[in-house]
Amino acid sequence: MKLDFQHTQAAHCENGVTTSLLRHHGVNQITEPLAFGIGSGLFFIYIPFMKVNNGPAIAFRTQPGLIFKRTCRALDIPVERKKFRSPEEAEKVLMNCLKAGQPVGCQVGVYYLTYFPKEYRFHFNAHNLIVFGREDDQYLISDPVMEMATSLSSYELQRVRFAKGAFAPRGQLYYPKERRAVTDDQMRKAIRSGIKHNIRYMLQVPGNIIGIRGIRYTAKKIRGWRDKLGLEKAGSYLAQLVRMQEEIGTGGGGFRFIYGAFLQEAFAYHPLDELQEISGQFTRSGDIWRSAAVQAAGIYKGRIGSQADFNLMSDYLNESADIEKAAFTALSKIKWPA
Amino acid sequence: MKKTETPQDLGALGKITNEICYAVDESGKYGTVLSNGWEVKSSALDVAWHDVEKRIETARQRVMDKEASPLLFFMELHVMDIPIVAAYTGFWKWQVKKHLKYSVFESLPESKLEKYARLFEVSIPELKTMKKNEA
């Protein structure tokens, strides 16, 4: 059994699943940048006292699952989401969906994901893919980060759906419940509210670890890493930062380029020159994030490593923070036509 | 990032699939480009795995010095930590912590060892002797 479903590649897994499922349900306007922007995906957080793979806990995007949820809500599309105790029940529900012609989004862990290269298989449990059919024992899989559709045996799929640890997926599956066309007017409203929420996350969350203030906080921490951790461990920390920023899924520059693309696409719905201009600011910020990554690589590869090198790294982050603060402030001042 | 500047440094993922990057053309308009890797991030990934290797070696040494049980070695080998091992085996975290002691591990009954052996995909004798299953 193979559903009529179009695999499309995306930069990020959750954007990709959201885009593909919505398109399948008749939302022809949706693209990856639009899904990311409407879902208010851009974010920054540094969680102190928490370790991920023995390194700092840093994220450039919002919490897993939220982009799909927010985008569907903004477009007024009802969503079904289920978690399971038993793998048997999880498989039964999945099969029922497929029989009903419904491709299904699944949250999975990547450690046992067989088609991934071994180097990428850490215990990361917030990956997303779409199941769109079954032939004999093989489930047909559309994984948005892969160029081609692929497949997993029923055992392999069960294993990744019931991966354990932080963010354990517990067999979680989700899909839009109804086929609904979306009007351009709805798109306009969704884009506006997506931007509005993103401004709030980046500028207005209290405390100093989230949004622009979180970037500055990280910049300050980095300055101290060399003395506090020693050169080698500081290098590992920087490598972790770079992986969160550039690894598969970010589209480059810690999602800043996808956000720039979103603002340009938003221009098609809201022809306001500010959007184009601010898009350029995100491109600049993303470029600075990438310069910071090059600087970090110099440190973790042992080519450079003086305190001045750490300071420069920190300055890059502050520069990005300045630009993004100006960009979001400009977004908050836009006069949207009624 | 300009489209023309999108890095193409073949990396681990690039051998299996290209990834999508967002970049601008000369007029500043965004579009997607495929990249097969970037040296800066593949070396970041190397650093992460180098750290893992080091932890495995330290664990192996500690087991041989009888400071820790073979469980530590396999835990590091599979990039796991105590909460993950506990979640997969069904033990409590404090039990796993106890089993990490060499003396406690020595006296574990087969039934408990079996759970660890299944998780790490080795036989019980292999579990006890830190023989890893290369498959």
CATH number at residue B78: 1.10.260
The answer to whether A336 and A248 are in contact (CB under 8 A) is no
C-alpha to C-alpha distance for A72 and A79, rounded to whole angstroms? 7
Reported ipTM: the value is: 0.92
Average pLDDT over residues A187-204: 97
Q: Are residues B87 and B124 in the same domain?
A: yes
Residues B59 and B102 reside in one and the same domain = yes
Reported as a single tens digit per residue, the pLDDT across B69-94 is 999 999 999 999 999 999 999 999 99
Of A148, A239, A260, nearest to B30 by CB-CB distance is A260
Q: Is B101 within the bounds of a domain? A: yes
Question: Looking at residue B13, what DSSP letter applies?
Answer: T
Tens of pLDDT, residue by residue over A164-178, are: 998 999 999 999 998
| Nearest-neighbour CA in chain B from A195: distance (Å) | 18
Tens digit of pLDDT for each residue in A53-106?
Answer: 889 999 999 988 999 999 999 999 999 999 999 999 999 999 999 999 999 999
Q: What torsion do the CA atoms of A336, A77, A254, A119 make, to the nearest 10 degrees?
A: -170
> Looking at the DSSP assignment, which residues form a beta bridge with residue A134?
A139
Total domains in the fold of chain B: 2
Same domain, yes or no, for B25 and B60?
no
**Phi, psi dihedrals of residue A150, rounded to the nearest 5°:** -140, -165
Q: For testing the chain B interface, which of A12, A263, A300, A313 should be mutated: the one with the most B CBs within 10 Å?
A: A300
Query: B56 CB contacts (<8 Å, ≥6 apart)?
Result: B73, B76, B77
Mind listing the pLDDT tens digit for each residue in A265-310? 999 999 999 999 999 999 999 999 999 999 999 999 999 999 999 9
B21 and B69 belong to one structural domain: no
**pTM of the predicted protein model:** 0.94
* Residues B72 and B125 grouped into a single domain: yes
**Residues B31, B64 share a domain:** no
In terms of domains, do B25 and B79 share one?
Answer: no
Using a CB-CB distance cutoff of 8 angstroms, which residues of chain B are in contact with residue A286? 1
Q: Are B82 and B29 members of one domain?
A: no
Residues B19 and B76 both lie in one domain: no
Are B28 and B54 in a shared domain? no
Is residue B43 a part of any domain in this protein? no
Task: Judge whether B80 lies within some domain.
Answer: yes
Supply the pLDDT for residue B132. 73
Same domain, B59 and B113: yes
Chain A: residue whose CA lies nearest to B77: A122
Determine, yes or no, domain membership for B15: yes
In this structure, which amino acid lies at residue A272? L
Residue numbers of the domain that contains B80: 49-129
- Picking from A65, A19, A70, A249, the residue whose alpha carbon sits closest to that of residue A174 is A65
Q: What is the mean pLDDT of residues A214-224?
A: 97
Q: Which two tokens stand for residue B115?
A: 């759970």
Domain shared by B121 and B80, yes or no: yes
Domains of chain A: 13-30+79-176 (3.90.70.10), 184-333 (no CATH)
pLDDT at B135 over 50: no
